[in-house]
Chains A and B, each alone.
Chain A
């Protein structure tokens, strides 16, 4: 499990996160939602260990500050929002980076990489994000959505086994479906849910509230650098909470149980 305990982050003189505490369990998909500028990405950076903060972040009970970069890399992988690269790497080479630098095929201490295994993992990771057959393409030639999926395959290969040596691994995804078409949004969310089902953990920053309700086991709602609410989507995604967090009145609806006809009057407006 990843825990943030009273995490405060200041950028310059501005406090961006105020005493954030949250827990992301293994086996569960934790979605972080909130308006722009509410501190979602900063929270993710604090969880990843890449920015200095007050308070503590624990992964599997260990303070991330006590772990070396390569140790952290065996416990969590991160999908950034957007990546621009300046050298002509192929898709295959990018995905393989997660493996040569990371830990899936490397024993502790960095020895004994098995090239056959690395190839297999990287290929399966590309298949998992629906990019099988893209190995020989240049990353820079791909569309934004395809690049995002290559990066996800790279992060996924880094912690290919959801549970390793009895320790669950965590995928930290910053807007994993933001530039994807609807089919691939579902592909990626199912992939994340499957990673959780196999014992790993996923923390995802989400803007699509419907996908959040469909796939999240836990939702963390943020506003102005604070956690406003955390819990199961059914429990906290209410009309009142939506207005509090996003500042606009919305109706949260629940479809009726299966078998009962349902009429949408909006269809008369088409």
Chain B
């Protein structure tokens, strides 16, 4: 029996004893159709995401009560009567931006993973794999270690944006290099790109290592916390910088879905079916670089979202990108919001970096999927 039949048994492989004798061919035909299930799951995810978002805004070390918040939101009481100024600041300027940022970053990471996997026709591909995250990381580390001394005037000019901008530029630069290396005569070789990505990631890692070697104690502490990944620094200004890039990328992605589906059968077959393959690859790569760069810039190294989320969804609703991509955005956002809630409530009033939570939950889960679905992934 196919591994994923266990999860979606009644839809995938109907038990012959349960199929109505009148169903006949019609039932056989409907058997391979997972689109209704997929649409249902997306609807469920919309509801779950809304609940997670609401819960995140209401949960925290400080006590801002649900009842008061609701009374204020529904207008039964004025803001002053329902919530103290302190509570309003906590909700509006601390928890709300965190939830929004979690949603954006989670969606960006999960969708980037799903698009990369479709592009490379490999369920284990991830922006981390082709060096895009490493490039973004190098940009951030450069800023932390050399920022004030080397880029003094520039640093003063861009101020708090220095880190995000540098990480974003690092991601774009890596992608551009990858593209130049892997493209010859207008054709992008996925194999070359994958291998070049491994080399670029190693190179970025080496430069990062040198920078860490020369860093002082305070810088080391900053580096460690940034590298572990966190939404703790969420603010409306950070969101203003990252949201347009992430939202634009997410808006482009639905147009890639059918092309990515066709790409499953190979680049030649996709072209035969009418897909402008070269343009699809270009748009997909730029989209992934932009959203990954933006996500890494504002949240550091949050791992496993891009690999685990699309995997779980493929087991549930199949690999059709028309449903997989929106579902990934929703589940990725939810996952990060929930992980962040755990991160800031597990050891109050201190906060764990969220990257630790996603790695603790994600890595064993990933290994479990890997072992369980080995045949299915052709490994």
* Residues of A bordering B, CB below 8 Å: 45, 48-50, 52, 68-74, 76-78, 80, 83-94, 97-98, 100-103, 119, 123, 132-138, 140-141, 151, 154-155, 158
B378 proximity list for chain A (CB < 8 A): 84, 86, 140
Q: A84-B378, A87-B319 are in contact. Are A69 and B262 (CB under 8 A)?
A: no
Which residue from A87, A88, A101, A133 sits with its C-beta under 8 Å from B273?
A101
Q: A135-B29, A135-B31 are in contact. List 20 more A-B contacts (CB 8 A).
A: A48-B272, A69-B275, A70-B276, A72-B274, A73-B273, A83-B265, A86-B121, A87-B121, A88-B2, A88-B314, A89-B264, A90-B31, A94-B265, A101-B259, A103-B274, A123-B25, A135-B28, A136-B13, A136-B30, A158-B272
- Once the chains bind, are A86 and B274 in contact (CB under 8 Å)? no
- Once the chains bind, are A89 and B273 in contact (CB under 8 Å)? no
B272 proximity list for chain A (CB < 8 A): 48, 50, 73, 76-78, 80, 155, 158
B377 proximity list for chain A (CB < 8 A): 86
B273 proximity list for chain A (CB < 8 A): 73, 77, 97-98, 101-102, 158
Kindly count the residue-residue contacts between A and B in the assembled complex, taking CB atoms under 8 Å apart: 126
| Alpha-carbon distance between A216 and B255 when the two chains are bound, in angstroms | 41
A84 proximity list for chain B (CB < 8 A): 378
| Alpha-carbon distance between A49 and B268 when the two chains are bound, in angstroms | 10
Chain A: minimal CB distance from B307 (Å): 14
Interface string of B15-29 (1 = CB under 8 A from A): 000000000010011
Q: Does B32 contact A (CB under 8 A)?
A: yes
Q: Does B74 contact A (CB under 8 A)?
A: no
B28 proximity list for chain A (CB < 8 A): 132-136
- Once the chains bind, are B318 and A90 in contact (CB under 8 Å)? yes
- Once the chains bind, are A93 and B268 in contact (CB under 8 Å)? no
Q: Does B122 contact A (CB under 8 A)?
A: yes
Q: List B255-271 residues whose CB lies under 8 Å from chain A.
A: 258-259, 261-262, 264-266, 268-271
- Once the chains bind, are A101 and B261 in contact (CB under 8 Å)? yes
User: Considering only CB atoms and an 8 Å cut-off, how many residues of chain B contact the other chain?
Assistant: 41
Chain B: minimal CB distance from A200 (Å): 16
- Once the chains bind, are A92 and B274 in contact (CB under 8 Å)? no
B12 proximity list for chain A (CB < 8 A): 90, 136
Q: Does B149 contact A (CB under 8 A)?
A: no
- Once the chains bind, are A87 and B314 in contact (CB under 8 Å)? yes
A97 proximity list for chain B (CB < 8 A): 261-262, 265, 273
Chain B: minimal CB distance from A92 (Å): 3
- Once the chains bind, are B34 and A90 in contact (CB under 8 Å)? yes
A101 proximity list for chain B (CB < 8 A): 258-259, 261-262, 270, 273-275
16 contacts between A and B (CB under 8 A): A45-B268, A48-B268, A69-B276, A70-B274, A73-B274, A77-B272, A85-B264, A88-B2, A88-B319, A88-B376, A89-B320, A98-B273, A101-B258, A101-B262, A102-B273, A154-B265
| Alpha-carbon distance between A69 and B278 when the two chains are bound, in angstroms | 11
- Once the chains bind, are B258 and A69 in contact (CB under 8 Å)? no
B268 proximity list for chain A (CB < 8 A): 45, 48, 50, 78, 80
* Residues of B bordering A, CB below 8 Å: 2, 4, 12-14, 25, 28-34, 121-123, 185, 258-259, 261-262, 264-266, 268-277, 314, 318-320, 376-378
| Alpha-carbon distance between A119 and B377 when the two chains are bound, in angstroms | 28
| Alpha-carbon distance between A89 and B320 when the two chains are bound, in angstroms | 8
Residue among A87, A100, A137, A140 with the most chain B CB within 10 A?
A87
- Once the chains bind, are B269 and A86 in contact (CB under 8 Å)? no
Residue among A48, A78, A86, A155 with the most chain B CB within 10 A?
A86
A90 proximity list for chain B (CB < 8 A): 12, 31-34, 318
- Once the chains bind, are B29 and A80 in contact (CB under 8 Å)? no
| Alpha-carbon distance between A119 and B25 when the two chains are bound, in angstroms | 13
Chain B: minimal CB distance from A67 (Å): 10
- Once the chains bind, are B4 and A88 in contact (CB under 8 Å)? yes
A103 proximity list for chain B (CB < 8 A): 274
CB nearest neighbor in B for A52 = B185
- Once the chains bind, are A93 and B32 in contact (CB under 8 Å)? yes
Q: Nearest 3 CB-CB pairs, A to B?
A: A136-B31, A92-B32, A73-B274
Chain A: minimal CB distance from B250 (Å): 21
Residue among A70, A91, A135 with the most chain B CB within 10 A?
A135
Q: A86-B123, A89-B318, A97-B262 are in contact. Are A78 and B269 (CB under 8 A)?
A: yes
| Alpha-carbon distance between A17 and B318 when the two chains are bound, in angstroms | 42
Chain A: minimal CB distance from B57 (Å): 37
A98 proximity list for chain B (CB < 8 A): 273
- Once the chains bind, are A87 and B123 in contact (CB under 8 Å)? yes
B269 proximity list for chain A (CB < 8 A): 78, 80, 83
CB nearest neighbor in A for B120 = A86
- Once the chains bind, are A86 and B276 in contact (CB under 8 Å)? no
